[in-house]
Amino acid sequence: MREDVGIILLNNKNKVLLQLRDNNVDIEFPNCWVIFGGEVNEKEKPRDALKRELLEEIELKLDNFDFFGNYYYKDQRKQHIFFSRCNLDTTKIKLHEGADLRFFSRNELDKIKLGFNMEEVLKIFFDKLENGKIRKNNR
């Protein structure tokens, strides 16, 4: 079974940082917004895979993040989802994968095209955040 990782990066305004996938018909969900992440390599732990993906995609070194949950795609792929508070200045981020990146509020998510299972994952995340089932701040 293929395993992926992803991270919900939330700023202090409870907006989530998303990546716009390239508009390339040869990739899954082209021109859709997704959380940052990628595939777990063989013999790699999910946390290490996430650290690697963040460095590769946006040159972000992040050690402080929490596990949120595991989700499964229709093709039985498993995705390990993490989250962290991260007040990043998007104008200073070096984007190496994807066409764009931007912070979105929960209400703005309904107005954009989300890829993979992001609609479900982000709905569950924001519901839990609003109901106090997720800490407002990491450590």
Distance between CA atoms of residues 72 and 69, nearest Å: 10
Q: Averaged over 75-91, what is the pLDDT? A: 92
Q: Is residue 138 part of a domain?
A: no
Cα dihedral 30/34/38/39 (nearest 10): -70
Q: Is residue 139 part of a domain?
A: no
Distance between CA atoms of residues 97 and 99, nearest Å: 7
Antiparallel, parallel or unpaired: β 16-20 and 3-10: antiparallel
Q: Is residue 93 part of a domain?
A: yes
Q: Is the pLDDT of residue 110 over 90?
A: yes
Check which CATH number belongs to the domain holding 98 and give it. Answer: 3.90.79.10
Q: Which residues pair with 20 in a beta bridge?
A: 33, 100
Q: Is residue 76 part of a domain?
A: yes
Structure tokens at 70: 């595991």
Number of domains present in the structure of the chain? 1
Under the banding of pLDDT at 50, 70 and 90, the label for residue 139 is: very low
pLDDT in tens, 13-33: 999 999 999 999 999 899 999
From the DSSP assignment, how many helices (H) and strands (E) are in the chain? 2, 7
Domain that holds residue 32: 3-130
Average pLDDT, the chain: 93
Under the banding of pLDDT at 50, 70 and 90, the label for residue 76 is: confident
